[in-house]
Amino acid sequence: MKKVELYTDGACSGNPGIGGWASILIYNGVEKILSGGDIETTNNKMEVISVIKGLEALKEPCEVTVYSDSQYTVSPFIDGYINNWILSGWRLADKKPVKNVELWKRLVELTNVHKVTFVKVKGHADNENNNRCDLIARNEIKKIQNA
């Protein structure tokens, strides 16, 4: 199974507002950069979409390490409560529905295709590829604003 690194980030100007996302896939030293945006979205959606788009770009099942500064995105997997959401019919502990459920369902589908490990990195710090994703995501916002 190929081992791939996936760096991701999302950004939003206003929340909700114009958003951007970026993913950097690295396999055997080769990079593939993906990015996009949305006119009306939230930061959390952009963070999750960045992981989804990165995983969707893989052409075969891979062993993927996802690096993200988004607690919202990585905690459900690292802390295991994504399984509780699934078992409870996509409800939180307080019985309220999980927000962005369609995105979470898609992300779970993709984690069932690939062997995925999530790593929480500190945002705007010393992770060069996370910083690159942040810059690319913010540039996607600028593209939409200037269109």
Return the active site residues: 9-10, 47, 69, 124, 134
> What is each CA distance from 79 to 46, 71, 76, 131, 147, in whole angstroms?
21, 11, 6, 24, 40
Rounded to an integer, what distance in angstroms lies between the CA atom of residue 29 and that of residue 9?
20
According to DSSP, the β-strands at 2-14 and 62-68 are: parallel
CA distance 64 to 147: 35
Query: What type of residue sits at position 99?
Result: K
